[in-house]
Structure 1
Amino acid sequence: MGVVSSVPYRFIEPQRIDVMLPAWVDRLPPQYDTVVGYTDLGNAFLFSTRTGEYGIFDPYSPGVKSYGAHTDLDTFVDRVLFDPGVVTYVLQPGHVAEIRRRLGPLQPGEVYIATPYPFLGGSETPDAYQKGGVWSFFDLVAQAHDPE
Structure 2
Amino acid sequence: MTIEGFQLIAQRPMLESMPAWAPHFPQFDLVFGYSDLGHAFLVNSQSGECAVLHPYRAAAKGYGAFADPADFADQVLREPGFAAVVLRNEHVARIRDRLGPLDPEQVYIATPYPFLGGSEEPETYDTGELWTFLELVAQAQQL
Aligned to 1:83: 79
Aligned to 2:69: 73
Aligned to 1:7: 4
Aligned mates of 2:83, 2:29 — CA distance in 1? 24
Instruction: Report SS of the residue matched to 1:124.
Output: coil
Confirm or deny: 8 A CA contact 2:43 2:51 kept in the other structure: yes
Aligned to 1:97: 93
Confirm or deny: 8 A CA contact 2:50 2:66 kept in the other structure: yes
Instruction: Note the C-alpha offset of 1:94.
Output: 0.6
Aligned mates of 1:82, 1:56 — CA distance in 2? 14
The gaps in structure 1 that reach 5 residues or longer are none
What is the identity percentage for the equivalent residue pairs of Structure 1 and Structure 2? 48
Equivalent position amino acid for 1:133 in 2:
E
Instruction: Note the C-alpha offset of 1:90.
Output: 1.1
Deviation by residue 1:85-125 (Cα, 9 ceiling, x = unmatched): 21111111110100000000001111000000000110000
Among residues 115, 133, 140, which one is paired with 2:136 in the alignment?
Answer: 140
Q: How many residues align?
A: 143
CA RMSD of aligned residues (A): 1.2
Confirm or deny: 8 A CA contact 2:2 2:102 kept in the other structure: no
Among residues 49, 53, 57, which one is paired with 1:61 in the alignment?
Answer: 57
Distance 1:5 1:137, change over 3 A: closer
> Taking structure 2 as the reference length, what is the TM-score of the superposition?
0.96
> Taking structure 1 as the reference length, what is the TM-score of the superposition?
0.93
Instruction: Report SS of the residue matched to 2:119.
Output: coil
